Amino acid sequence: MLRTGDMHPDTLSRRTVAFVNIAHALDHFVLLIYPTAVIAIAAERGLDYGALIGLATGAFVAFGLFSLPMGWLSKRLGRRNLLAAFFGGCGVACLGISMTATETGFAVWLFMLGVFSAIYHPIGGAMLVTHARQLGRDLGWNGVWGNLGAASASGVTAVVAATLGWQAAFAVPGLVCLAVGAAFLALVPEDGEGNAQRKGSAGVIPVSRPMVLMGIFALAIIAGGMTFNVTTISLPKVIDERLGLALPLALTGSLATVVFVFGALMQLAMGRMVDRFSLPSIFVGISILQPMGLGLAAMTTGVPMLAGLVMAMAAIYGQVVVNDAMVARYVPAEHRATAFSVRYFLGFTTSGFAVPLIALLHGQGGFAVVLAATAAFGAAIFLCSISFLMVAQPRLNAGNVAAE
């Protein structure tokens, strides 16, 4: 095991950012195994999709609910130790799901997966901002890693489930999580000071009405949590039902992966824009694409539907980078872990109800209704972005304050 004094701070920062990126990919991957695997489980056991997808409700509620105390825990246990718990807990939960044989077992282990998955975003976000060399660029690449995890979940799960069975689709990622966690403990000995503290690379933007701005941002996060989770959870089944072609599970999952890849490309673009342009202006530009894409997907089928999903997914994942940059630029360093905890608590706890909402609306009118409702949440985000732009004016006679 490495000791703190054995490692140069720049080396520690590079390793920390690398593992934070890998963790982001695994976080989204493991949470999105079930929405694809459930298609195979339903076919194997002759059960209804709506009933089975509802078992994941606890996972997504826990994903948001348990993010709230992570800022508090990080001050007592250390961010590095909590990220290690993320790797280990997700690995054990995935192995537990692979060995379950009952609906109750699915619900319990999926809930545990949500609990440990909740660690990543508040802790990983704070670690990334601390160790980032160039904020926008590193946030963009971190977003790409998370998006690639989400993108590959559908395709990899579909292929593994079709060839080795759905149990292997959980067991293999579980073992990967445990192996990466062991490497993280061995190669990253401590939290470290980070690049931002040494170089003053990030700055807090002072505003005249911070509480109003915070309220607008909170509403946008809640609405964004709904669009994010409804779209990512239902995407494989949307393609399965509305493409108009009878495709095997592996090909359906692969198409879902292609849609997610466009989100990764948008995150790279957003990372570059964050370093060059005003955050409120970027917020307005990216948010208008969500209701446009989701509305197009709701009203069409086939290739136009896929085009709408691509537009929506690009906007949804681009928004993630913008949101994280806002926390980094508007919140002082000493409060960032707590701010990230609240940000993901609001987004993911509220959006935990996306699963029963999908089941309810799908039963009422299929995915046309699901997508139309999601487009309404997207419109709410756009309205919040306009309000944010109007309110987020720098405080007069105040220069930027060093964040670190």
Phi, psi of 260 (to 5 degrees): -65, -35
Q: How many CB atoms lie within 10 A of CB 304?
A: 12
Ordered DSSP codes for 25-70: HHHHHHHTHHHHHHHHHHHHHT--HHHHHGGGHHHHHHHHHTTTTH
Residue 293's domain comprises 4-402
Q: How far apart are CA 319 and CA 322, in angstroms?
A: 5
DSSP designation for 395: P
Query: No. of H helices and E strands in the chain?
Result: 19, 2
Helix (H) / strand (E) element for 315: namely helix 302-330
Residue 203: the pLDDT is 60
Q: Measured between alpha carbons, how far apart are the two ends of the chain, in Å?
A: 29
Q: Phi/psi zone of residue 186: left (φ > 0), alpha (ψ -120 to 50 degrees), beta? A: alpha
Q: How far apart are CA 353 and CA 364, in angstroms?
A: 17
Residue of 348, 343, 346, 311 lying closest to 330 (CA atoms): 343
Please enumerate in sequence order all residues whose Cβ is within 8 A of that of 367, keeping only pairs 6 or more positions apart, or say none: 234, 237, 238, 241, 242, 298
Cα atoms found within 13 Å of the Cα of residue 304, Cβ hemisphere only: 8
Query: What global pTM score does this model have?
Result: 0.74
Q: How far apart are CA 253 and CA 23, in angstroms?
A: 22
Length of the chain: 404
Q: Phi/psi zone of residue 46: left (φ > 0), alpha (ψ -120 to 50 degrees), beta? A: left
b/e sequence 199-209, b meaning 16+ C-beta within 10 Å: eebbbbbebee
DSSP designation for 335: G
Residue 197: the pLDDT is 52
Token couple for 288:
């208008």
Counting the structural domains of the chain, the total is 1
Contact 67, 86 (CB under 8 A): no
Q: How far apart are CA 105 and CA 99, in angstroms?
A: 9
The pLDDT tens digits along the chain (404 residues) read 455 456 677 788 889 999 999 999 999 899 989 888 888 888 777 777 777 877 888 887 888 788 888 878 888 888 899 999 999 999 999 999 999 878 888 899 999 999 999 999 889 988 888 888 887 888 888 888 887 887 788 778 888 988 898 899 999 999 999 999 999 999 988 877 655 554 444 466 777 777 888 889 899 999 998 898 888 778 878 887 877 676 666 677 677 777 877 877 888 888 888 888 888 899 999 999 999 999 999 998 888 988 999 999 899 988 888 888 888 888 877 777 788 888 888 877 776 678 788 888 888 888 889 999 999 999 999 999 999 988 876 554 444 433 33
Please enumerate in sequence order all residues whose Cβ is within 8 A of that of 79, keeping only pairs 6 or more positions apart, or say none: 123, 126, 127, 191, 337
**402, β-bridge pairs:** 203
Residue of 385, 397, 6, 379 lying closest to 189 (CA atoms): 6
Token couple for 296:
């197009």
Residue of 242, 244, 329 lying closest to 283 (CA atoms): 329
Token couple for 241:
């039902």
Residue 199: the pLDDT is 47
SS3 332: coil
CATH of the domain at 28: 1.20.1250.20
* CA 36-40-46 angle, 5° bins: 130
Residue 247: the pLDDT is 66
Q: Phi/psi zone of residue 397: left (φ > 0), alpha (ψ -120 to 50 degrees), beta? A: left
* Distance from the Cα of residue 243 to its chain's centroid: 25
Residue 398: the pLDDT is 42
